[in-house]
Structure 1
Amino acid sequence: MIGRNRMLLSVISVAVALALALTLVLILDDEASPPPLPDPEADLSSFIDGFASSLSAEQDYRPPGAGERRTAAAGFAALLDAAPTAAADLGKLGFAVRDGMDRQTGRPYTVAVNESGSERSWGMYLIDRSAPPSLAVEVPHPASDLKTESFGLDYFRRVPGAVLLIAGAHRKADDGRADVAHEVDSVFHVVATTLGGRGLPQVQLHGFDDQNLPDDDIVLSSGATVAGPPARRAADRLEAAGLGVCRAWASSCGALEGTKNVQGKAAAKDGTVFLHVEMSRTVRESGIAKVIQALVEADLRAP
């Protein structure tokens, strides 16, 4: 009888151990992959190209809830201020945070990247640490608006203190709810409004097909905000570079004027600068250097 009881206990112990092991496997399998982070020695261009190439209209995505958006606001405010709590706060949302040195510019940066293979595809945020935050460079449609993520990085590298925002999902994911330029319930919008609330001008980069506006290379708009001196300086510099510019505040530029852009609407409420830059396919393929130089010369940074 004792031997039989021992055997029964042994069988039960093995069953419990197997159940625990299976539970652990299921939990680990349910977790998303660790967030991709650039190797400290790697080039940021390759890292961002890889990030954008992984996006597709079929990828997983869900908008963050109200509590998650509050956590994002607090976490990114802490990140901007280099507070020690930032990594832990953002880690609750699946972000990984790392400091590095850009090999091309020699300037320090901090990057926060969403986890991969997860519905929490909430973006990449890159802060130049060589100067106080001065300009938000925004890429709401990576992969979809061809090369805008590469353009964003190039522009970021030319402006000390710039902050680069790249959405974490294709704009068509989740039946279009991942289009952060038109959705206020996104981490991208939280970060953009956090920066705008601190007085940083925002330059948002988009692309259009040549046939949609064949007579112009660039559509420049201030979205829902009033076109002030920064927008007019940018238009003048772009035209001086030999680019055809449609100024949305002076003439009709079709459906490319960005007046419904939610970051632009928030900037209008805050009274801060918002510049919506639509570039033709041709410009994005062969004229990016001219656009970047013109925007740098326009000096859109916060005073």
Structure 2
Amino acid sequence: MIGRSRALLSGIGVLLALGLAALLIVILGNDPASRPPQPPTEASLSSLVTRFTAPLNAGQDYRPPKADERKAGAQGFGSLLDAGHAVPSALDTLGFSVRDGVDEQTGRPYTMAVNEPDTDRSWGMYLIDRSAPPSIVVEVPHPAFDLRTELFGLAYFRQVPGAVLIIAGAHRKADDSKADVAHEENSLFHVVATTLAARGLPQVQLHGFHDPNMPDTDIVLSAGATQAGDPARRAADRLTADGFSVCRAWSQSCKGLEGLTNVQGRAAAQDGTMFLHVEMSRTVREDEQRRADVVRALTEAKLTEH
């Protein structure tokens, strides 16, 4: 009888010890200090672009880069483009943060250079798709002014391997409109665009207009100061086939939305490279499905092929 009691007490002791050990494991497991360090979660590319453009406003600080800063920007971006990944370059001296990442949506690697925040060196965000050699420049000169154009830019960037996406770093009206990079040659945006165009890359520049300006038109396509070639005509045909009302600036008047004074377009005309100026109505830009339709049409137009 005594032996049985001792065995029973011994069994109960074992169970209590096991229960205490399990309790300690649970408690310690919930203690953050006891866990192994976890790698930081990488922000999505979509959220990085949205966070960059959301604070832009007409009253923000901005100044055009000086001549030596523009030269450093051209050298730094060229070095970054050729290296194939994030490397120290002259961009560092201009306050840019440069890093590599992987797009969570496409699985493709990229390199990103972003200007320092909250300063007057608001000179842009530059994304290089590393999955293929550089193929096309997707340009967003008026983020936060031509609403949703940064979403178009990112969506199209994701469709074309080797694309380079360049987004201006300031609101169009900042610094008494000196931040309007589509009409100012002394911007880093222009430096990067022309550096890429000089390498023969075609450019697609995204803009927006208010519906009342052309109430019967969805999209205005123009070659700017260049001659409209087959890529522009294919884009117009694809957009028309998808149900968009398209004004073709090379054959009709589009009420001042032709982009003839655009400085990137003028530089492309001098270099003999393709430049496509895309103006989209507010209604198109606000409709998620229509945005996707525009991106698909531009992709199917194969703008990298002459």
| TM-score of Structure 1 vs Structure 2, range by shorter chain | 0.7 to 0.9
Q: Which moved further from structure 2: 214-223 or 42-51?
A: 42-51
Q: Who is 2:296 aligned against?
A: 293
Q: Partner of 2:174 in structure 1?
A: 173
- Residue 117 of structure 1 pairs with residue 114 of structure 2: no
2:275 partner amino acid = F
1:140 aligns to 2:131 (yes or no): no
TM (norm. structure 1) is 0.86
Deviation at 1:86, TM superposition (A): 4.8
Kindly tell me: are residues 260 and 96 of structure 1, through their superposed partners in 2, closer, same or farther at Cα, counting changes over 3 Å?
A: same
Residues 172, 58 of structure 1: CA spacing in aligned structure 2 closer, same or farther, 3 A cutoff? Answer: same
CA deviation vs aligned residue, 1:97-156 (integer Å, no higher than 9, x gap) = 000000000000000000000000000000000000000000000010000001100000
Deviation at 1:194, TM superposition (A): 0.5
Q: Cα distance, 1:82 vs. partner?
A: 1.4
SS at match of 2:182: helix
- 1:188 deviates by 0.2
The separation in 2 between residues aligned to 1:198 and 1:169, in whole angstroms, is: 26
* Aligned 1:21-36 pairs, distance under 5 A: none
Q: What is the CA–CA distance in structure 1 between the aligned matches of 2:209 and 2:193, rounded to whole Å?
A: 22
Structure 1: state its 5+ residue gaps.
1-38
Aligned equivalents of 1:239 and 1:250: distance in 2? Answer: 15
For the residues of structure 2 that align with 1:85 and 1:45, how far apart are their CA atoms? 20
Q: 1:40 to 1:182 in 2, by over 3 A?
A: farther
Distance 1:175 1:103, change over 3 A: same
Cα pair 1:114 1:122 within 8 Å, conserved:
yes
Which residue in the other structure is 2:25 paired with? none
**Residue number in structure 2 paired with 1:87:** 88
The aligned runs of 1:1-303 (5 Å cut-off) are 41-82=42-83, 86-286=87-287, 287-301=290-304
How far did residue 302 of structure 1 move?
5.4
Give yes or no for contact 1:96–1:112 (8 Å, CA) kept in 2. Answer: yes
Deviation at residue 89 of structure 1 after TM alignment: 1.1
- 8 Å contact from structure 1 (residues 199, 302) kept in 2: no
SS in 2 for 1:185: coil
Ranges of 4+ aligned residues in structure 1 off by more than 6 Å:
none
* Aligned-partner Cα distance in 2 for 1:51–1:42: 12
Of the two, which has the highest radius of gyration? 2
Q: Please give the alpha-carbon distance, in whole angstroms, between the structure 2 residues aligned to 1:115 and 1:179.
A: 19
CA distance in 2, matches of 1:84, 1:45: 20
For the residues of structure 2 that align with 1:84 and 1:134, how far apart are their CA atoms?
16
Q: How many residues align?
A: 265
2:219–2:278 Cα contact (<8 Å) kept: yes
Q: Conserved in 2, the CA contact under 8 Å of 1:62 and 1:174?
A: yes
The structure-2 alpha-carbon separation of the partners of 1:285 and 1:84, relative to structure 1 and needing over 3 Å to count, comes to: closer
Kept after mapping to 2: 8 A contact 1:200/1:302: no
> How many angstroms apart in 2 are the aligned matches of 1:142 and 1:98?
22
Structure 2 length as normaliser, TM-score? 0.85
The answer on whether the counterparts of 2:204 and 2:275 sit within 8 Å (CA) in structure 1 is yes
Give the CA deviation at 1:88. 3.1
Q: Helix, strand or coil: the match of 1:180? A: coil
**CA–CA separation in structure 2 for the residues paired with 1:213 and 1:90:** 41
1:150-174 alpha-carbon deviations (Å, 9 max, x no partner): 1100000000000000000000000
- C-alpha distance in structure 2 between counterparts of 1:215 and 1:233, whole Å: 21
CA distance in 1, matches of 2:85, 2:166: 21
Gapped regions of structure 2 (runs ≥ 5)? 1-39
Q: Distance in 2 between matches of 1:281 and 1:118?
A: 30
Amino acid at match of 1:65: K
- 1:114 and 1:224 mapped to 2: Cα distance? 30
Contact 1:201 1:302 in 2 (8 A): no
Identity over aligned residues, as a percent?
A: 69
Q: Tell me if the contact between 1:125 and 1:166 (Cα under 8 Å) persists in the aligned partners.
A: yes
Q: Which amino acid aligns with 2:230?
A: P
Aligned counterpart, 2:13: none
